[in-house]
Structure 1
Amino acid sequence: MLPIFVVNNHGQFNHLIHRKLRDMDIEVRMIPNTTAPSDVEAGCSGIVLGGGPSLERAGNCAEYLDLGLPVLGICLGLHVIATARGGQVGPGSHGGYGGVTVEITGESEILAGYEGPIHVWASHADEVKQVPDGFVVHARSDICPVEAMGSADERIYGVQWHPEVSHTENGDLLFRNFERICGE
């Protein structure tokens, strides 16, 4: 199977995402967000859009959504997905990184196997304010109504939290689910 590409959006956690996948024996490669879409399409089985400081520095990420490959957006990656597909992102009322209890709101491929609320580590400096057409909210919290969303038809998913950090409960499960989606 081709590797999963982790797109580096200049965020502090991108290397942790790459290392987490590698440590899970998932074939992975980190690429800059300036990589040509044609090179991404030809070289991977799926794409993880990592976090970063701003949508303005997300390079070609929005173009990667049109390649027909599975995509998992993490934090800023979620925001790229939302804005590229017609949703809206705005400032959250609870900035900074910290622990959040997330409620899974329905069944989804990306969150398969999670039961009950989970404790995650997230930043809510910015968050999805309007979900794009064709996307479903998969998780929420007391401070954010869109902690996770996805489009099963497009195989595009996003989470507000960071599954790659040890503070997130069972983050490996989310990555295993994405690996399975990439292999289908």
Structure 2
Amino acid sequence: MNEMDGKKARRGKGLKITAVLLLLLGAVGYGYFRYQHPYGSSHHCSKMFPLFFHEYAEDHDGNYPSAGGEAASLALLVDYGMPVKFLAGKSVSPSDTEKYYAQHGTLSDEVCGWHYVEGLKNTDPSELAIMWPKVPLGHNGERLKRPAYEVIFIDGSIRYIEVTKWQGFLADQERLRTSR
């Protein structure tokens, strides 16, 4: 074997090792992304919901959507410009949500990733929560160092409530709703 053949063999071996390392790095990166975003990356912007709730309430004597179920009520916002895919939330496939809405003209709880509190009005106390995701993830569907729910309130503000404080938060919300 001459010197050129030896260099070609080493270069070929080096390229194979580099390719394997790049594949491994890609697999590890993808695995980490999937861990961080268990339902995939989502940006079904919760920050838009207060605008659509406001528009809806303006046309309905201050009442927020009510259609006999959380998902069906939120589906009423589509007529006000809410993109259907945003109703998927952080834990449901947007394409599943869009397909279901296209077929039925409404949504079911299985294809809506949000909990919604029916029966509220825009004159209710601002500290009342109107909706939150079904799964405690960050704004883009990522895991948080301290798991928390992104909660939207009547006044349009958005706060994260940590999972460790969640049951107390829900109890406080129930007291607020019954005392209004």
Higher helix fraction (1 or 2): 2
Q: Do the structures match in fold with TM over 0.5? A: no
CA radius of gyration, larger in: 2
Q: TM (normalized to structure 2)?
A: 0.26
